[in-house]
A and B are shown apart, each in its own frame.
Chain A
């Protein structure tokens, strides 16, 4: 089934550790996105990529980095995790301005 695969599904991480959340899509969409979802704050855009080789900052980019080496993969890296990065992270893809397709999410807890 075509779609977006995120890994890991869930992770507990010590503060200060480095963590990479993986995201792969098989729909050949040009654009990919990372959001974090927090209670009462909805989904906030962290970083996005309009096409392979380009990335951009969203609403809450600090503490996160991304890369887009090819069309299918869009990993999100926390270089040194902090407790405020405890959240549910969703990867998504689209051919704008079309429908945004979401992964199932990655629940990250930073202690």
Chain B
């Protein structure tokens, strides 16, 4: 069965600083990987996804993620964080028609 680990529960960065959120997955076959963002009191919005091909994928709002098969990782990055990026971020893996999520990382942005 697939699983996802997001080791950082909370991350605080200053506005304008770079950001990296970690995600490790476990799945026996080629994974389909996703990052979602959830603003307070809202539903979840897709940031980006990896299916195959180029291991560096671009998403919305200036986010990108890199798939590293050797490390079973799919870390999310942003070169310069904006105050509006404060939210909770979830990594997910799809396998056998089920989507399994990590426990999330809550991002706080300091002005």
Contact = CB atoms under 8 A, between A and B. Distances in A.
Interface of A: 31, 33, 35, 40-45, 48, 50, 56, 58-59, 90, 92, 94, 96-97, 99-100, 102-105
Contacts of B32: 97
Contacts of B97: 31, 48, 50, 96
B34 A40 contact: no
Contact of B90 (A40, A43, A97, A104): A43
Interface residues of B, number: 22
Interface in B45-93: 46, 49, 51, 90, 92
B76 to A, nearest CB: 15
Interface of B: 6, 9, 32, 34, 36, 42-44, 46, 49, 51, 90, 92, 94, 97-104
Contacts of B51: 97
B43 A103 contact: yes
A31 B98 CA distance: 9
Contact of B99 (A40, A41, A100): A100
A47 to B, nearest CB: 10
